[in-house]
Amino acid sequence: MVTYKLGKPEEDTAKIIGIIYVVVFILAALSGYFFYKAYAHHQTFSYCKTTEAEIKKSTLEFFRTPRPRHSARSFGHVPVISFEYTIDGKTYISNKLTCSGKKTSFRRRSGVEAFLEDFPIGKKVTAYYLPEKPAEAFIIRKLYFWYMRKALIMSMLICGLVSLCFALQKSVLKRHRYYVLKQMGICLAWFFIGIITYGYYFSYAERPFSIGLIIRCIFYFLTGLAFTLIFLIPVVFGTKEEAQDLLSVLRR
């Protein structure tokens, strides 16, 4: 059990704070990495040039991934599309669908057949490529938000852990207004990260937007608003004693 005294945390509490800050540092490094990967993916997506291509092959393949004994097998269908295009007088053939090279898989055969209807043999399509990698063209210009989602999760954990550290630090009861201001800073960081992440999604994602992501976006900002009100109301409308009571409840 962690105990507290006015003005300075006990030794056990100081160790907990140190461990939390180590975890925060690791999460910050991971968050920075994911934001960098998202930025690199966006740069690849944004600075592509275009050229006309012709579909040369449009078929499907069935795949089955072996799993350990007594477990289910992963299976499905993937579209296999190759197209021919010319850049600076040189002809290339590529089978990449997206800029990431990730294959699109379908559980049902009907799903991949419907997908292939948009890419019949002989159809003229627009191919996208980077000037430094003309042989790696692709025909589906779609952004992937996997890196941004991971960076958002890491940032949320960082905000929560830093908020916890503020609650454990010294002089909390003597300087309750300063404590609440620090917590308000965390809330502002929460909103800033959410605006950057979801603003990026709604600016570049294809329409219609994902219903699940819209719900997560609303929940994210409502959570930030709830925590903001928790720390703001005692300062604006309450007395010092009420704020101290709130802090004592948060530290239990």
pLDDT for 241 equals 59
216 closest CA partner among 197, 189, 230: 197
Q: In what order do the strands lie in the sheet with 49-65?
A: 90-94, 74-87, 49-65, 124-130, 133-138
Q: What's domain 49-138's architecture? A: Beta Barrel (2.40)
User: What amino acid is encoded at 130 in this protein?
Assistant: L
The residue whose two tokens read 């937007």 is: 209
> Do the beta carbons of residue 159 and residue 189 sit within 8 Å?
yes
pLDDT for 71 equals 44
pLDDT for 242 equals 54
pLDDT < 70 regions, the chain: 1-12, 63-75, 100-101, 143-144, 169-181, 206, 231-252
Q: What is the pTM of this model?
A: 0.61
- CA max distance for the chain: 79
pLDDT for 84 equals 92
Give the span between the Cα atoms of 104 and 59, in whole angstroms.
13
User: What amino acid is encoded at 209 in this protein?
Assistant: F
Give the span between the Cα atoms of 80 and 99, in whole angstroms.
15
- Three-state DSSP class for residue 94: strand
- Three-state DSSP class for residue 85: strand
Give the span between the Cα atoms of 168 and 21, in whole angstroms.
12
Question: 209: which DSSP letter?
Answer: P
**116-138 burial code (b ≥16 CB/10 A, e <16):** beebeeeeeeebbbeeeebeebb
Domain residue spans of the chain? 4-40+145-250, 49-138
